[in-house]
């Protein structure tokens, strides 16, 4: 929309007429980063219009309104109105410049992800959960889904632009469709998306453990495998990536209850073992919070032992950070920053070992990858369908395309291989909107 109105994107730190900070508010550090960035932007460009949007605006609008460097605050719900709001400040901006852009119910669709081989499609927004450490429901509002037809149009548009991988994202992805009368759930949406001829492969972002339905497991079990490209590798459910990121947060039932999480360790362990048994080669990641209030040395030891016992492939580990406005910030038994950091280091070391073992297990097999960039050493760096990073040979022509790689070695979290064959390109989708 901004480009249609005449703006040109320039690198951060270069002279600019407009600076936009898209804020996060998940931690107090993220809030500080936003305030620092807007002041820095104004120092670099004293005459620029400085805009702040994102979650911090929704939870602390008055705090930001008192910062003189900010010219415009745009809450999440009004992001699609950014150009309209800018025109109220700068009347010289042209009007009626966006009529040729494709639109959905919630505003213009995204036409491309510049410099990215993967494209991200938001299908759901908001969260109805009440995890005691999280401020996001206050920032994002209640769970709501993008209409199915808009999702299909958006995915088709990006696939037709040459993005070989589409990633479905949402604040609470597994709740997709719960607020829609007739559009079905996440499983039925995946069925519809993999049927689009132009879609190369489809990946799910983070999904809550209790929302991994039998239908999703069946889709992964039936078609997560990297098939021989000479046997129509891209047909059917083989488009769904063998990768799930399933938040755990703690391996101790007492802490899970204090967090307000709606499952226990027995449920999580049964789910994980069922998934890796039914989906060969599946990459499973998990979020874990270290040092939540009340986490004693004994309770942390339970978490550590539980994680070591599971066939997880990697962890995203976060040190607990008290967030004002959440229940957890007022809980007794706050853990010292030094202990939180030490526990974080312990869990990250476990993650490194698990990821190295998972990568090592790929040696001798084939992986379907999308080459993303060529490194200074001349080799291509790619992302496999099961989330393994791969370094391999190959010509420039295969960048951004689906390719099969023979994995010959592993080095830590990186697999090494040789290009084997380019897969059959998906046909353009000629379905009339």
Q: Read out DSSP for 351-393?
A: HHHHHHHHHHTTTTSEEEEEEEEE-TTS-EEEEETTS-EEEE-
Task: Decide if 9 is inside a domain.
Answer: no
Residues 48 and 124 in one domain: no
pLDDT for res 276? 96
Average pLDDT, the chain: 89
Distance between CA 32 and CA 34 in Å, rounded?
Answer: 5
Residues 240 and 383 in one domain: no
Q: What percent of the chain has pLDDT over 90?
A: 69
pLDDT for res 100? 76
| Residues forming a β-bridge with 414 | 389, 411
Q: What is the mean pLDDT of residues 186-191?
A: 93
Residues 119 and 78 in one domain: no
Residues 146 and 74 in one domain: no
Q: Is the dihedral of CA 246, 247, 251, 256 positive or negative?
A: negative
Task: Decide if 128 is inside a domain.
Answer: yes
Task: Decide if 133 is inside a domain.
Answer: yes
Residues 248 and 319 in one domain: yes
Task: Decide if 430 is inside a domain.
Answer: no
SS3 (DSSP) at 217: helix
Q: Does 56 score more than 60 pLDDT? A: yes
Which range has the worst mean pLDDT, 157-161, 202-206, 385-389, 428-432?
428-432
Supply the CATH number for residue 215's domain: 3.80.30.20
- Cα Rg, the chain, nearest whole Å: 23
- Name the band, by pLDDT with cuts 50, 70 and 90, for residue 233: very low
Q: What percent of the chain has pLDDT over 70?
A: 93
Q: What is the mean pLDDT of residues 9-32?
A: 91
- Name the band, by pLDDT with cuts 50, 70 and 90, for residue 181: confident
DSSP readout, 73-123? EE-GGGGGGHHHHHHHH-TTSPSS--TTS-EETTEEPP---TT-SEEEEEE
Task: Decide if 59 is inside a domain.
Answer: yes
Supply the CATH number for residue 401's domain: 2.40.50.140
pLDDT for res 105? 75
DSSP readout, 272-307? HHHHHHHSTT-EEEEEEEES-TT--HHHHHHHHHHH
Q: Is the dihedral of CA 142, 26, 263, 170 positive or negative?
A: positive
Distance between CA 316 and CA 248 in Å, rounded?
Answer: 10
Residues 286 and 142 in one domain: yes
Residues 239 and 376 in one domain: no
Q: Does 144 score more than 80 pLDDT? A: yes
pLDDT in tens, 327-356: 999 999 999 999 999 999 999 999 999 999
Taking every pair of C-alpha atoms in the chain, what is the biggest distance, in angstroms? 64
- Higher-pLDDT residue of 433 and 1 is 1
- Higher-pLDDT residue of 104 and 265 is 265
pTM, two decimal places:
0.89
pLDDT for res 422? 61
Neighbours of 15 (CB within 10 A): 9
Q: Which two tokens stand for residue 159?
A: 């696939």
Residues 395 and 271 in one domain: no
Task: Decide if 341 is inside a domain.
Answer: yes
pLDDT for res 424? 54
* Residue 326 CA neighbour count, 13 Å, CB half: 26
Note down the domain range covering 219: 103-360
DSSP type of residue 425: P
Distance between CA 113 and CA 103 in Å, rounded?
Answer: 17
pLDDT for res 223? 61
pLDDT in tens, 302-315: 999 999 999 999 99
pLDDT for res 235? 34
Residues 313 and 418 in one domain: no
Q: How far is CA 321 from the centre of its chain?
A: 21
- Name the band, by pLDDT with cuts 50, 70 and 90, for residue 184: confident
Residue with tokens 């993967």: 118
- Higher-pLDDT residue of 76 and 13 is 76
pLDDT for res 98? 74
Residues 348 and 404 in one domain: no
Q: What is the mean pLDDT of residues 113-120?
A: 87
- Higher-pLDDT residue of 275 and 14 is 275
Task: Decide if 10 is inside a domain.
Answer: no
Q: Does 52 score more than 60 pLDDT? A: yes
Task: Decide if 221 is inside a domain.
Answer: yes
Residues 231 and 327 in one domain: yes
- Name the band, by pLDDT with cuts 50, 70 and 90, for residue 183: low
Distance between CA 334 and CA 133 in Å, rounded?
Answer: 12
SS3 (DSSP) at 400: coil
Q: Is the dihedral of CA 249, 54, 176, 428 positive or negative?
A: negative
User: Do the Cβ atoms of 364 and 330 come closer than 8 Å?
Assistant: no
pLDDT in tens, 373-390: 998 888 999 999 999 999
- Name the band, by pLDDT with cuts 50, 70 and 90, for residue 421: low
Residues 119 and 249 in one domain: yes
Distances, alpha carbon 411 to alpha carbons 334, 385, 391, 407, in Å: 39, 19, 10, 11
Q: What is the mean pLDDT of residues 277-295?
A: 96
User: Do the Cβ atoms of 328 and 322 come closer than 8 Å?
Assistant: yes
Distance between CA 125 and CA 363 in Å, rounded?
Answer: 39
Q: Does 138 score more than 90 pLDDT? A: no
Boundary-marking domain end, from 44, 64, 89: 89
Total of domains in the chain: 3
């Amino acid at each position: 929309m901004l480009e249609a109105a005449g703006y040109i994107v320039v690198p951060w730190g270069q002279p600019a007429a407009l600076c936009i900070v898209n804020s996060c508010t998940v931690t107090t550090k993220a809030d500080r980063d936003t305030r620092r960035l807007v002041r820095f932007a104004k120092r670099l460009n004293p005459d620029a219009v400085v805009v702040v949007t994102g979650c911090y605006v929704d939870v602390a609008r008055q705090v930001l309104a008192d910062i003189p460097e900010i010219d415009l605050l745009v809450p999440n719900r009004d992001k699609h109105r950014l150009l309209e709001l800018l025109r109220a400040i700068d009347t010289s901006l042209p009007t009626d410049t966006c009529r040729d852009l494709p639109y959905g119910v919630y505003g213009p669709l995204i036409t491309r992800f510049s410099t990215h081989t993967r494209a991200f499609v938001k299908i759901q927004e908001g969260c109805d959960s009440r995890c005691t450490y999280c401020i996001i429901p206050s920032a994002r509002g209640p769970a709501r889904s993008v209409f199915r037809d808009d999702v299909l149009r958006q995915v088709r548009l990006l696939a037709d632009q040459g993005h070989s991988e589409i990633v479905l994202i949402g604040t609470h992805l597994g709740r997709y469709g719960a607020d829609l009368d007739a559009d079905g759930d996440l499983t039925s949406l995946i069925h519809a998306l993999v049927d689009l001829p132009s879609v190369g492969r489809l990946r799910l972002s983070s999904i809550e453990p209790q929302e991994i339905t039998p239908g999703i497991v069946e889709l992964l079990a039936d078609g997560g495998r990297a098939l021989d490209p000479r046997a129509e590798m891209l047909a059917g459910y083989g488009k769904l990536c063998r990768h799930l990121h399933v938040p755990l947060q703690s391996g101790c039932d007492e802490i899970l209850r204090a967090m307000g999480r709606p499952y226990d360790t027995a449920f999580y362990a049964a789910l994980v073992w069922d998934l890796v048994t039914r989906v060969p080669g599946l990459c499973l990641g998990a979020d874990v919070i270290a040092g939540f209030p009340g986490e004693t040395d004994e309770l942390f030891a339970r978490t550590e032992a539980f994680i070591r016992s599971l066939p997880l492939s990697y962890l995203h580990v976060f040190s607990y950070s008290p967030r004002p406005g959440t229940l957890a910030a007022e809980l007794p038994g706050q853990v010292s920053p030094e202990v939180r950091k030490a526990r974080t280091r312990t869990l990250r070391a476990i993650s490194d070992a698990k990821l190295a073992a998972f990568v090592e297990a790929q040696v001798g097999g084939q992986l379907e990858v999308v080459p993303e960039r060529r490194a200074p050493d001349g080799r291509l760096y790619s992302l496999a369908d099961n989330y393994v990073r791969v370094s391999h040979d190959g010509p420039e022509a295969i960048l951004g395309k689906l390719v099969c790689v023979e994995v010959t070695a592993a080095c830590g979290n990186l697999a090494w291989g040789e290009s084997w064959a380019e897969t059959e390109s998906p046909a353009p989708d000629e379905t009339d909107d």
